[in-house]
């Protein structure tokens, strides 16, 4: 038995019940300035000591703003649908002892469990890069997990604010369903993609859908913030599966179930693969110096300055995949010397970049050797993982979709998304 307020996952006598984890694409395992408090690159959802879920209960149809305020001041969770200046539908929510609720959004206020800011392509962080206006909602979405096995997790658009209210104004897309209950969409929407075949080496990308405030599934709107909703997809649900992607219009999160994480590579496994690569003593085919992949700590920081000539870090000609040590010959462009380099092995001209091991285990679909690099960023992972992410069109901005490196969020080259690495062994 647990005493009031005691966190179940802190007790030494019982294993914590983990529902799963949300991992932000683009940060390779940690934010550049460090994971602090509720702002981090990954968020684990544990069973709470006391259920905090809510479920719909009473519906009020109100004809004056004063009546709406009176209902919202009761201290209960509620969703307000403003139909006109004179009519608001307020749906009250009551306590649900069988579920735990976790809220995600840009706001740093108390109700948000996981603070997410706009992901900057290339692994940068919003704190250092000025963003004129974030497209992520302050109270973007909520994940509701069943407290009993199989611990099903469901996602809903919008989160309750500090007044325990979700407010859909006159301009928000909203409607009454045939069964009479109200529903709506948030301004830029919450999109979800469930992979076909789970999150394994056989997985294929699914179709992007939009999730409503009440958790129904719709086809995408014509534009991200259009006032007309898509079509209801009755054959699909808002249940998160291992490998489901959640897009908040500015950041994309990967959901991994506890069971999925159990079968995924660990940091220790990735470190063993790195040491195995280095133990093979790959050599620069020109300088004949031994190369070595940097430590996981350096990989996660992804140093912007780049290595010097003396470093052992491997570099690659992305057009052909030949791995070398750093050198400064073969330029074809003075303006951007590393964009057009001629490979001394095969004369192919293309980008020349340092290689970094992708060190966020949650992004790997298998435990294979890291032998493929994403183009153009140079993050290295297994062949199956590279092929999987190269096929996924990730939402970009409010209207575009493109494949991106999961480790740094860099858009992948349209014609060549990955390169197979060609290492030269030691010449003894």
Pairing, β 141-146 against β 99-105: antiparallel
The pLDDT assigned to 299 comes to 59
The pLDDT assigned to 340 comes to 80
CA-to-CA separations, 372 to 296, 302, 313, 385, 415, in angstroms, rounded? 17, 17, 16, 9, 16
- The answer on pLDDT for 123 being more than 90 is no
CA pair distance 308, 45, nearest whole angstrom: 42
CA pair distance 234, 50, nearest whole angstrom: 33
pLDDT tier at 341, thresholds 50, 70, 90: confident
Residues 6+ apart with CB under 8 A from 211: 141, 155, 156, 157, 190, 191, 192, 217, 218, 238
The pLDDT assigned to 71 comes to 62
Residue range 267-420 forms a domain whose CATH class is alpha beta
* Residue with token string 């004369």: 347
Mean pLDDT (the chain) is 86
pLDDT digits (tens, 9 = 90+) for 46-90: 999 999 999 999 888 887 666 666 566 667 899 999 888 888 899
The pLDDT assigned to 270 comes to 93
The residue among 229 and 36 whose pLDDT is bigger is 229
pLDDT digits (tens, 9 = 90+) for 287-309: 888 999 988 766 555 443 444 44
The pLDDT assigned to 310 comes to 47
Mean pLDDT of 98-108: 96
Name the residue ranges covered by the structural domains of the chain.
18-263, 267-420
pTM of the full structure: 0.89
End-to-end CA distance of the chain: 65
The pLDDT assigned to 170 comes to 80
- The answer on pLDDT for 334 being more than 80 is no
What percentage of the chain carries pLDDT values higher than 90? 62
The pLDDT assigned to 300 comes to 53
Least-confidence region, from 111-125, 168-182, 269-283? 111-125
pLDDT tier at 373, thresholds 50, 70, 90: very high
For CA atoms 42, 364, 233, 100, the dihedral sign is negative
């Amino acid at each position: 038995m647990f005493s009031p307020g005691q966190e179940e996952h802190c007790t030494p006598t019982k294993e914590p019940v983990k529902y799963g984890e949300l991992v932000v694409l683009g940060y390779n395992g940690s934010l550049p300035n460090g994971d602090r408090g509720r702002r981090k690159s990954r968020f684990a959802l544990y069973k709470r000591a006391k259920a905090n879920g809510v479920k719909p209960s009473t519906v009020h149809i109100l004809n004056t703003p004063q009546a709406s305020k009176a209902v919202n001041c009761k201290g209960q969770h509620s969703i307000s649908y403003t139909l006109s200046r004179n009519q608001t539908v307020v749906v009250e929510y009551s306590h649900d002892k069988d579920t735990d609720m976790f809220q995600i959004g840009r706001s740093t206020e108390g109700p948000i469990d996981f603070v997410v800011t706009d992901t900057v392509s290339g692994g940068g962080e919003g704190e250092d890069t000025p963003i004129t206006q974030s497209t992520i909602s302050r109270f973007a979405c909520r994940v509701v997990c069943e407290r009993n096995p199989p611990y099903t997790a469901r996602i809903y658009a919008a989160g309750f604010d500090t007044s325990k209210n979700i407010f859909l104004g006159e301009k928000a897309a909203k409607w009454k369903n045939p069964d009479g209950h109200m529903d709506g969409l948030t301004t830029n929407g919450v999109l979800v993609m469930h992979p076909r075949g789970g999150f394994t080496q056989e997985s294929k990308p699914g179709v992007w859908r939009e999730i409503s405030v009440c958790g129904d599934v719709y086809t995408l709107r014509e534009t991200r913030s259009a006032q007309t909703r898509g079509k209801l997809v009755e054959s699909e649900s808002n249940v998160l599966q291992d490998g489901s992607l959640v897009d908040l219009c500015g950041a994309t999160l990967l959901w991994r179930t506890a069971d999925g994480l159990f079968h995924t590579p660990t940091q220790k496994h990735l470190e063993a693969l790195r040491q195995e690569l280095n133990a093979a003593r790959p050599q620069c085919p020109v300088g004949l110096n031994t190369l070595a992949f940097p430590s996981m700590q350096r990989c996660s920081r992804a140093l912007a300055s780049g290595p010097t000539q003396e470093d052992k870090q491997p570099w690659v000609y992305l057009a052909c995949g030949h791995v070398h040590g750093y050198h400064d010959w073969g330029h074809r462009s003075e303006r951007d010397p590393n964009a057009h380099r001629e490979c001394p092995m095969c004369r192919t001209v293309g980008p020349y970049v340092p290689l970094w091991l992708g060190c966020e285990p949650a992004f790997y679909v298998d435990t294979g050797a890291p032998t493929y690099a994403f183009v153009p960023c140079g993050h290295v992972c297994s062949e199956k993982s590279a092929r999987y992410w190269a096929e996924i069109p990730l939402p970009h901005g409010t209207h575009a979709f493109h494949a991106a490196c999961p480790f740094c969020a860099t858009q992948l080259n349209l014609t060549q998304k990955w390169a197979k690495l060609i290492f030269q062994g030691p010449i003894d």
